[in-house]
Structure 1
Amino acid sequence: MARANPPRRYVLTEEQRHMYASEKLMNFRWIAKILATYSPYTLSSKDFASEEIQTYLSEIGQFAEVTYSAIPTQFIFANLTTLMEPSFPLEGYHCFRDAVLVSAFIGETAHLPGFVSYRPQTKQLIVAFSGTATAMQALYDVRALQHRHRSGRGRVHSGFWKLYKGIKSLALDGIRKGLTEHDVAELVITGHSMGGTVSQFLLLDILRDEKLVPVGSIPIKLVVFGAPRSGTAGLVKYWKELLAERRKKYGETSIVEYSVKTYNDGVPSLPPQALGYRHYAESPFYFVHGRLYQVPPASREYALFHVTPDLEDENILPDHPRGGHNYYNGRDMEKFARRILWLDKAMKMEGDGDWKERYRAQVAKHSKSK
């Protein structure tokens, strides 16, 4: 096994110093320092995920990230062309170019948002859930008492389960609508942070009862980023059995799970294993400095990994060297959140011009303050 090296320290550029000084969201690096442990296994080039998988996850991640928008989802989809322009919130979110909104909804518990969209070019029906964005939702995050799962095969995090129950029926209705109205070749369920946990609960129910949605043999892919633990070992065992049953019935590619962790993100360390919780994914992925690695099953509970030096990368400064909860797939979710805030202000302001002009004025104002 290659020798493990301590995390490399980078000299930040002026732009990166400004980026980190502008952070407003919780990035959980302090949780990583306190609770996360390094795996004894060192990741190397033989653990690289394929470029195809990395691209796929990055594309789906765009939908998981946009669910955090404080702007109504209907407005986002109605104004995609403008919102994807340079300096607008969806700049770089190219997968939305052909996306169609099927259903947007807000859960009964803590107003958790989500949506279902369809991509005609790829024939993907994508269900996306927001992660924690409000203090009310955060209160459910810390309700870590265990609740017996209805299967009788294990227990779940009571707070996450409550959030899921409040949005379950709306999400299922959206899936049914999408399957009825569109030619679907793949069902994708995705979320970041707590949204990843809600995604896992939804898939668990779909696998338990095929009558919930008429998905049949359509391939299902679960794609979660920075998700916390939410089930006990018994439930994880049941999860694996359900995946095996679907693969036996419809083939190996009928169900695929992708769970991604990233450098310096403490959320995957929560709740601690000492409370009895475990991760679902058999072989998760680890994103660090622009590279995606596949983690061996024996190390799936670890949140941090050493990687062997890569000579090709020695002179390349990564975009987000400090890692953290809001820097998955090489994107800065802090930037997206700031731009959405500016857009929200522009839409609420009164004055000359339309919301686009007022938004550009907001961008210009904040650019001068750098």
Structure 2
Amino acid sequence: MENWNQQTIEDFRRDLLDWYDQEGRSHLPWRQNQDPYRILVSELMLQQTRVDTVITYFNRFMDALPTVKDLAEAPEEQVLKLWEGLGYYSRAKNLQKAAKVVAFDLKGNWPESYDDLLSLPGVGPYTAAAVASIAFGEVVPAIDGNFFRVFSRLLKIDDDIAKPKTRRVFYDIVEPIVDPKRPGDFNQAIMDLGTSYMKTKDPDTLHSPVKKYNAAYRDGVEEQYPVKTKKKKPVLQRYQALVVENEDGDLLYEQRPETGLLSGFWTFPLRAVESVEELEGEQLTIKPVVHVFSHRKWEIWPVKVKAPNKLEENQAYLSTERQNELALPKVQHKLLDAIKEQ
């Protein structure tokens, strides 16, 4: 592993921030000021989602709920509808929980330190560091996938980033490198570097503003970093989705439990099956609808069945208008689209 002396660290900070000032993504709407609310919303939206996609969602969210108090007081249904399409809906639910803590418990006073921000619901180490550094100027590295990739290559850090303990390794190594005068800009510059010159595939290190600091590039092993063991394949689960239509053309939906995947959302009633041979009812698609979560892969066969004699407490017929009002998970939209195509 490379060890930088103080002069190299200062040179790196200067070159990185000079580039960021000239070419950084200052146009991004959440970079227009240092409002911790806007930063928190953007950081949670950006998890698992591309920047280009988030911009539209962020602007719409801010137009509807411009302050942390607005979010705290909003109906959950509205929050989820604004989030619809981004997926990973636990992010939206935790965001509102965090807003309620700030707005109600803390009387609108934001936690300003990394450690205190970690106490907010849904705020993990990366998000806490991003808000602490960008909004409040705390000198703390915001370690995400971009951060791992950039510094593993710059310094040839061989630790496996798939292991939880590796975050602390990177933290201890890079904390002294973070610019003490502009920690927020430093972290955002690393984000921009990781999505441009130092991408996962086909990096353009030849033109990178920090090429001379890149030990992995110098030694011809850049694409070997970061070191990461492959995660296990998602577990396959098969379901049949029960499609029931009443005389008014309304469809039967079922609200999922408050815990587990898609908690609290409305979908067609789903029943687990082991194989296609176990399906009961009229198959409505030739192929199953496939949806992949981080650790689960669902294959779902929509089947038309007779209406039940009695609805369960968590079931209801929903009109088209009501379906459009609700935030439906992506997998439900896939099922609706598959049925329409047939």
Q: TM-score, normalised by structure 2?
A: 0.27
Name the structure where strand makes up a greater proportion of residues: 1
Q: TM-score, normalised by structure 1?
A: 0.26
